């Protein structure tokens, strides 16, 4: 993609416009990008790529690195290989690039989201928070995140000796 923003301010403004077009909270996405040191240019390009690939499958979007920032992509729940973060970045769960902090944050995020997610996945059930959190354990992605956490804990050097 040819990036034509003349400077960083123009780029952040373009991102605000993209976020508005996608119905995404611009301030939240920009704050998250700055907190994670993701440059405006990268974020802007993510929005542009995701707009071009919006109708393709989850796998195709992974292949094109084309997830809209600021959106929770519900299809992620149905697979066990990738995590898509709040900026639309694709992470391979088993990769060392996906830090243990990030892994744990992703797991906690899903647990917190459990009632809303279960309302989408099982709209006819009326679940308490704990019931929803319990049902989350059956979600493929949740199983993969928990398994990876255990794998890392088990392979961590034993500091007790």
Could you tell me the smallest distance in angstroms from the CB atom of residue 3 to Zn ion?
A: 6
- Does residue 44 touch Zn ion according to CB under 5 A? yes
Q: Please give the size of the binding site for Zn ion, defined by CB under 5 A.
A: 4
Task: Decide if residue 121 touches Zn ion (CB under 5 A).
Answer: no
Please tell me whether residue 11 binds Zn ion under the rule CB under 5 A. yes
Shortest reach from residue 44's CB to Zn ion, in Å: 3
**Based on CB atoms, which residue is closest to Zn ion, 44 or 46?**
44
- Three-state secondary structure string covering the chain: CCCCCCCHHHHHHHHHHHHHHHCCCHHHHHHHHHHCCCCHHHHHHHHHHHHHCCCCCHHHHHHHCCCCCCCCCHHHHHCCCEEECCCCCEEECCCCCCCHHHHHHHHHHHHHHHHHHHHHHCCCCCCCHHHHHHHHCCCHHHHHHHHHHHHHHHHCCCCCC
- Shorter beta-carbon distance to Zn ion: residue 14 or 19: 14
Comparison of 11 and 118: residue with beta carbon closer to Zn ion: 11
> 36 with 89: CB under 8 angstroms?
no
CB 72 within 8 A of CB 28: no
Closer of 5 and 113 to Zn ion (Cβ): 5
Residue 117 binding Zn ion, by CB under 5 A: no
* Binding flag, residue 26, Zn ion (CB under 5 A): no
- Would you count residue 5 as binding Zn ion (CB under 5 A)? yes
Looking at the Cβ atoms of 17 and 129, the one nearer to Zn ion is: 17
Residues that bind Zn ion (CB under 5 A): 5, 11, 14, 44
């Amino acid at each position: 993609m040819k990036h034509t923003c003349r400077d960083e301010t123009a780029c952040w403004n373009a991102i605000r416009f993209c976020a508005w077009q996608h119905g995404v909270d611009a301030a939240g996405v920009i704050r998250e990008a700055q907190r994670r040191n993701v440059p405006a240019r990268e974020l802007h390009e993510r929005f542009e790529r995701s707009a071009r690939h919006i109708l393709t499958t989850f796998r195709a979007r992974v292949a094109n690195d084309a997830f809209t920032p600021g959106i929770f992509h519900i299809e992620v729940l149905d697979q066990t290989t990738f995590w898509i973060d709040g900026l639309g970045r694709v992470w391979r769960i088993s990769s060392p690039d996906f830090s243990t902090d990030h892994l744990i944050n992703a797991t906690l995020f899903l647990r917190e989201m459990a009632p809303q997610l279960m309302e989408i996945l099982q709209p006819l059930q009326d679940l308490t928070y704990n019931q929803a959190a319990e049902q989350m354990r059956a979600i493929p992605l949740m199983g993969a995140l928990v398994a990876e956490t255990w794998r890392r804990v088990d392979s961590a050097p034993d500091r007790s000796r």
